[in-house]
Structure 1
Amino acid sequence: MPNPSLAAFALIASIAAAATPAPAGQVIGTELAQVTIRGRIIIRVPSRLRGAPAQQPTPAQPIKWAEKKGPKCIAADQLGGAIVATDYVDLVLRGGDRVRAELDGDCSGLGYYGGFYVKPSADGQVCAGRDSIRTRSGDQCTIRKFKKLVAKK
């Protein structure tokens, strides 16, 4: 069993050492500090209006897309670009896959400023029914659902 007087002596010695001023340039004892950093991440997704000329040459035959059942959520770091229409946004993911985000309500100012913002949740995902797209003019459009786009043959 430890000696109680020995523990008390160690406590008094540590208090005395902490109260003794340190010579210049030396640190005596341990100093603890805590830093809390809070921030938010908003991802600006570059876009172009449907029918607007692309940066690269387009093929002679435009690609026709078929809609399939899409995911509930998309990892925000997978967003690469977007093509904007009035009631949906086609998201181009890293790797070339495409997902259509169908929006609730009218989002008429979406393509006016040439882009929009997506604020991922703490889990790093953008989810249908939970998250929204914010226009650069300040409007907010909730994502109703995602549909995977597959090129028709």
Structure 2
Amino acid sequence: MTVGMIVALLLAGGAQEAPMLLAQLTIRQQVIIRVPARPQPVQPMRWKEKGGPKCIPAAGLAGAQISREGVDLLLKGGARIRAKLQRCPPLDYYSGFYIRPGIDGRVCQDRDTIRVRSGGSCEIDVFKSLVPVRKK
């Protein structure tokens, strides 16, 4: 039965019945993960970049820290991945940003973006694994 047929049946119902109200409801589903940014520690630890994965599971994200070189993503289990960004507005102005994973539940380089709370977005160019630099 089409909407036009329903409207015609309602109008043909007679004037003695109470008027009926029609409404339309659209449901959309979106998954957006808000990642709060952590402030820099007093004595920042030094990190060395190594080759990184092409994608990381969004469910594995535990937090993030803004650095001069990009965004350091903290993973559950203690691993740290640096997201190097292209064309990016200041991330620390509103102290937070959003990452929207793909349909596959992963955040991937050369595909996904980090959205700044002020409205801009940053393309993720590459992921680098971070390992701590040991003092000699």
The partner residue of 1:126 within 97, 107, 115 is: 107
User: What residue number does 2:71 align with?
Assistant: 89
User: What residue number does 1:43 align with?
Assistant: 33
Q: State the distance in 2 between where 1:137 and 1:85 align.
A: 18
Gaps of 5+ in 1: 1-36, 54-60
Q: State the distance in 2 between where 1:132 and 1:100 align.
A: 14
Runs of 4+ in 1 over 6 A off after TM superposition: none
Structure-to-structure mapping, 1:2-151, within 5 angstroms: 38-49=28-39, 51=40, 62-105=44-87, 107-151=88-132
- The Cα of 1:62 is off from its aligned counterpart by 4.1
- The Cα of 1:64 is off from its aligned counterpart by 1.5
Point out the structure with max Rg over C-alpha. Answer: 1
Contact (CA 8 Å) 2:62, 2:76: kept in 1 or not?
yes
- Structure with bigger strand share is 2
Contact (CA 8 Å) 1:109, 1:139: kept in 2 or not?
no
Q: Which amino acid aligns with 2:32?
A: I
- Per-residue CA distance 1:74-132 (angstroms, 9 max, x = gap): 00011111111355100011111000000012x23311111100001110000000000
- The Cα of 1:52 is off from its aligned counterpart by 5.7
Q: What TM-score, normalized to structure 2?
A: 0.73
Query: Aligned-pair RMSD on alpha carbons?
Result: 1.9
Q: What TM-score, normalized to structure 1?
A: 0.65
Q: SS of the residue aligned with 2:34?
A: strand
Gaps of 5+ in 2: 1-26
Contact (CA 8 Å) 1:83, 1:91: kept in 2 or not?
yes
Which range is displaced more, 77-86 or 132-141? 77-86
> Percent of aligned positions with the same letter in both sequences?
53
Q: SS of the residue aligned with 1:77?
A: helix
